[in-house]
Amino acid sequence: MAELHSPISPSLYPFLTIMLTTGGLATTALLYVSDVVQSKHQRPLVQDVSLAAVSSVLLGFGVFFLLLWCGVYV
Amino acid sequence: MTAIFLIVKGEQEVIITSATQEINLNTQAVITSVQYSLLNEGSQTVNHFIACSDIKHAQQRAFFEGVQGDAEADDPPEMKVVPGTPAYPAGVSCDKFTLTEPLKSGKRTTVETYAVYTKLTHPRPAEIEQGETQRVVYEGHHYLLSPYFIKSQTTKVKLPSSQVDAYTKEKPTQLSGNTLTYGPYGDHKPFSLLAQQSRMRVHYETNAPFLEALTLTRDIEVSHWGNVYVEERYKLQHTGARHKGTWSRLDYMTKAVMGVGNVIPEFKAVLPAGAHSIYYRDAIGNVSTSRTSPSLASVEVNLRPRYPLLGGWKVDFIFGWSLPLHQAVRKTKGGGYELAVQFSPSITGVVVQDMDIQVALPEGATHLRPSAPHPFTNTTSKRFSYLDLFGRPLLNLHAKNLVAVADDELTVSYRLSSFNLLLEPGLLIGAFAIAFGIAIAFSRSELSLGGSSKGSRRLSGSGRESEAGNVQSAEEVVGSLTKQIAERDKVLGSLDNVQMGTSKDDVRRIVEPLLKDILRKLRQLGPALEATTGFRKAAYQQVLDREASLHKAALQRFDGRSYTGASYTHSKVTEAQLDLLDTKVNDLRAEMTMNLNIIKQGVSGGRTSAISQ
C-alpha cells in the first residue's frame, strides 16, 4: 500500500500563496480601477464579470494556500 | 466443592507435560506469560487449546494473546480466540484458542499465552507518608488452573526488588534475589482442588509508578492537504499508596534519589518519528517543563507536570502534536484510504480506565470502517471544522481497561473522492465571488439619494397608443434638457470670471463636478429620448459622444495631460490658457445650442428626421 501524499507538496505552499494572492489582489485592483476610470456604459458587463471571476478564483486559492502555509490544515 | 465441568471429547487425551508460568510484578500491570508443552496422547487430532485463569483476574485482563510454536521465532502464528467461554468450575474463567497447527495424535507442541492485568496489585499499607517506600500485595494461585492433566509445573514470580515483606510458601519455594520460584510441582489432575484453593500472596516493595488515566480523550483530525492532528486530553491519577501527612518540597528536592517513595515526577511519551509542533498545556496555560528528544525511530517527550504526583493526586493536561500525512494515511487497493495511528495513549506505563477516541476524517469521507486490537464500541456523528459545508464525519470510539502494548494500531479505512478535496478552496472562491458580485451590482446600479429626474422615467408601450403621452413627455424631456443647458451656462459663466493666476486646481474644482453632473443627467435622458417617436437612438448617441469629448477636451486644456490617471497640478492659469478657455467656452455654448436644436427637431420633427452632420 502506497503512502498518501498531499496533492501539492507542502514545500510549494509558500510560493503558491504569494503568487496567487498577489495575482488575485492585482486583478481585484484592475477591476476596481476600471470601475473608476471607465464609465459604466462604456464598460461591458462581461469584462467586469470575467475580471471578478478571475480575481475570486485567484484570491480564493491564494487565501486557501495561505491557511495551509500557516499550519491551519483545513 | 464439587467440580462440575463439561468434558469435550479429545481434551482429556491432551496432557501438559510441562508448564512454566512467569508472573512479572515489575510494573503496575501484572504480566503473566505461561508456556505449555502439550502432548496428544489420544487418537484424534485436537484443534483447540483451552487456557484458564481465576475469574477475578480475568475480569481485570487488559490484553490476552496466545501463540503456538517457538516463542523465540519471529512472528509466531497467533491463535484465534473462539468466542463463548466453555463452562468450568466456579471461580474459573477459560478461553478457547484455535490452534494454528492442529495437534495430531502422538505429537507434541508448545503454546504460550501472554496476559496483562490491571489493578491486581493493591498497596498495603494503603496510606504512607512522604519518603516511605510503597508496598503492594499480589494475590494469585500457586498452581495453574487447567482442564488438562499437568505433569510438571513451575511458577516464577519476578519482583522489582529483593525486598519482600512476606510471601506464602508452598513447597518447594525459593526466593533468590528478585525471583520467587514456586515448584517444580508434580502431577495435577484437571482443575485439581489444590489448584483452586491454594492461594499465593506476595507482599513486596515497589517504587514503580502507579499511574492511571481516569479519562483519556484522543482526538485525531485528518487533512488530505498534508497533516494529521493528534490531541490527547488526560486526567491522570497516582493510584499507588495514598499520601498522608505533609508534603515538603524541600525534603523532596534534597532526597538523594528522585522517585524514592511513591512519587511520580514526570511522564514519558513516545511519539512516531515524524511528529512535530508538539504542545503541552493545561487549564492555566502552556507548561514549559517538557523536553523532546527526536531520533530516527521515534520522538520521545518527557512531560513534567507543574507538581509531582503523590499517592492519590491528580493532574489534567492537554498534549498534542501533528504528523505528516504520509506517515499516517495509506492508499489501499481499490481507491480507498486507510488511517493508521497508535491505538493506546502515547504516554507509556499508563493504565487507562476509559478511553474515547474521536477520529475526524475529511469532509465527504464515506464507508468508514475502524478496527483495533482491543474491543471497542463506536458511533458516528458530525463535526463542523474549517471550511466545512456539511460537516466532517466524526467516529467516536470508546474502549475500557487498556494498557499500552507493542504494535497496537487503530486503522480506519474510508473512501474519499478528490472532488471533496476541491470543495474547500471552492468555498473560499464562492465567498469572494459573492463579494465581487455584490460590488459589481452596486457599482452598476443607479442609486441616488435625491430621486431620479423626470427624464429618467421609462416610457412604455408602443408608439401609437401613447403618442399623446410621448409628445407630452418629450416636451418634458426638452424642458429638462433646456434647464440643464442653462445650468451649464451658469458653470461656463463662472469660468468667464476666472482670473489670471487662479490655481488650476481651483478652476478644475469648479468646473469638473458640474460638467460631470450635467453629462450624467444627459445620459439619464437616454431611455426617455429613445422611447419618444421620431428620435433615433443613433442620433442621440452622437450627441452624447460629442458631449463627452467636449467635456474631456475642456478638462484637458487645464493641465495638458491626459485625463485618465492624471494628478492635478497646482500651477496657475496663464493668460494663454485663459484665452483658450474663453474660446472653448464659446465653442461649448455653440455646441450646446446645436445639440438642443437637434434634439428638438428629432422629438417634434417626425419619425424619419435624418440628422446630418
First to last CA, chain A: 25
How far is residue B259's CA from residue B206's CA, in Å, rounded to a whole number? Answer: 11
Residues B60/B119, Cβ–Cβ less than 8 Å = yes
Model pTM score: 0.69
Q: Which of B223, B330, B431 shows the shortest C-beta gap to A1?
A: B330
User: Residue B567: its pLDDT value, please?
Assistant: 39
Residue B355 sits at φ, ψ, to 5 deg, of: -125, 135
Mean pLDDT of B422-426: 90
Q: Is A3 part of any domain?
A: no
Identify the pLDDT of residue B7.
Answer: 47
Q: What percent of chain B has pLDDT over 90?
A: 38
Q: How far apart are CA A73 and CA A68, in angstroms?
A: 5
Amino acid B137 reads V
* Predicted confidence (pLDDT) at residue B546 exceeds the cutoff of 60: yes
The per-residue pLDDT for range B549-563, each reduced to its tens digit, is: 766 666 665 554 433
Model confidence at B180: pLDDT above 70: yes
Could you tell me the pLDDT band of residue B307, with boundaries at 50, 70 and 90?
very high
Helix (H, G, I), strand (E, B) or coil at B251: helix
Q: Which residue has the cell 497640478?
A: B569
Q: Residue B140's closest CA among B25, B1, B27? A: B25
> Looking at the predicted structure, is the pLDDT value of residue B1 above 60?
no
Three-state SS for chain A is CEECCCCCCHHHHHHHHHHHHHHHHHHHHHHHHHHHHCCCCCCCHHHHHHHHHHHHHHHHHHHHHHHHHCCCCC
A23 in any annotated domain = yes
Q: What residues of B are in contact with residue A31 (Cβ under 8 Å)?
A: 436
Mean pLDDT of B192-201: 85
Segment B181-207 shows an average pLDDT of 87
A64 interaction partners in chain B (CB closer than 8 Å):
387, 424-425, 428
How confident is the model over B247-269, as a mean pLDDT? 78
Q: Omega of the bond prior to B294 within 30 degrees of 0, cis?
A: no
Q: Closest by alpha carbon to B495, among B592, B556, B577, B562?
A: B577
Give the A:B interface size as CB pairs under 8 Å: 99
**Residue B142: C-alpha distances to residues B25, B124, B125, B304, B519 (Å):** 15, 21, 24, 40, 109
Establish if A6 belongs to a structural domain.
no
Most B-contacting residue of A1, A3, A4, A70 (CB-CB within 10 A), to test interface: A4
Using alpha carbons, select from B141, B140, B95, B146 the residue that is nearest to residue B120: B140
Please determine, for residue B430, whether its predicted confidence score (pLDDT) is greater than 50.
yes
CATH code matching the domain that covers B467-604, chosen among 3.30.450.90, 1.10.1370.30, 1.20.58.70, 2.60.120.260:
1.20.58.70
Taking the CA of residue A16 as centre, how many other CA atoms within 13 Å lie in the half-sphere pointing to its CB? Answer: 18
**pLDDT greater than 60 at residue B18:** yes
Provide the 3-class DSSP secondary structure of residue B64: strand
**Quick check: B440 and A52 CB within 8 A?**
yes
Give me the residue from A7, A63, A68 closest to B421, CB to CB.
Answer: A7
Looking at residue A47, its amino acid is Q
Would you say residue B249 has pLDDT above 90?
no
- Burial readout B144-182 (b: 16 or more C-beta within 10 A, e: otherwise): bbbbbbbbbbbbebebbeeebeebbebeeeeeeebebeb
Domain of residue A21, residue span: 12-37+44-70
Class of domain B2-204: mainly beta
Residues on chain A touching B428 (C-beta within 8 angstroms): 59-61, 63-64
Asked if residue A30 is part of any domain, the answer here is yes
Contact flag A7-B437 (C-beta cutoff 8 Å): no
Does B6 score more than 60 pLDDT? no
- The predicted model gives B519-533 an average pLDDT of 59
Q: How far is A57 from chain B (nearest CA, A)?
A: 5
Of B225, B331, B436, the CB nearest to A56: B436
Instruction: Quickly state the pLDDT bin for B350 (edges 50, 70, 90).
Output: very high
Chain region(s) in chain B for CATH 1.20.58.70: 467-604
pLDDT reported for residue A41? 75
Q: pLDDT: is A26 or B592 the higher one?
A: A26
Residue B158, H or E segment: strand B153-158
In a domain, A2, yes or no: no
R_g over Cα of chain B: 46
HSE-CB of B164 using CA atoms within 13 angstroms: 21
Quick one: pLDDT at residue B171? 84
Residue B285: count other Cβ atoms within 10 Å of its Cβ.
7
Cell of B488: 451649464
Question: Residue A7: inside a domain, yes or no?
Answer: no
The answer, yes or no, to whether the previous bond of B272 is cis (omega within 30 of 0) is no
From chain B, the residues in CB contact with A68 under 8 A are 225-226
| Mean pLDDT across chain B | 79
**pLDDT 10s digits, B391-423:** 999 999 999 998 887 778 999 999 999 888 888
Residues 539-568 of B with CB under 8 A from A: 564-565
pLDDT of residue B585: 59
Residue intervals of chain B classified under CATH 2.60.40.1730 are: 2-204, 211-419
CA angle, residues B250, B251, B252, in degrees to nearest 5 = 90
B73-114: pLDDT as tens digits? 556 667 777 776 666 788 888 888 888 888 888 888 889 999
Q: Which of A5, A31, A57 has its CB closest to that of B325?
A: A5
- Domain B211-419 grouped into CATH 2.60.40.10: no
Q: Name the interface residues of A facing B (CB cutoff 8 Å).
A: 1-8, 10, 28, 31, 35, 37, 40-41, 45, 48-49, 52-53, 55-57, 59-61, 63-64, 67-68, 71-74
- Whether the upstream peptide bond of residue B308 has omega within 30° of 0, thus cis, is no
Lowest mean pLDDT among A53-67, B38-52, B78-92, B515-529: B515-529
CA distance B602 to B613: 14
pLDDT, residue B170, reads 86
What DSSP character marks residue B53? E
Q: Nearest chain A residue to B445 by CA: give it.
A: A40
Chain B contact probe: residue of A49, A56, A67 with most B CBs at under 10 A:
A56
Among B167-181, B438-452, B477-491, which stretch is predicted with the lowest mean pLDDT? Answer: B477-491
Closest partner CB to A53 (pick from B338, B425, B433): B433
The answer to which of A32-41, B30-39, B341-350, B463-472 has the lowest mean pLDDT is B463-472
Cβ–Cβ contact B87 with A under 8 A: no
Q: Which of A3, A60, A63 sits opposite B330 (nearest CB)?
A: A3
Number of domains chain A contains: 1
Query: How sure is the predictor about A44, in pLDDT bands with cuts at 50, 70 and 90?
Result: confident
d(CA B68, CA B114): 11
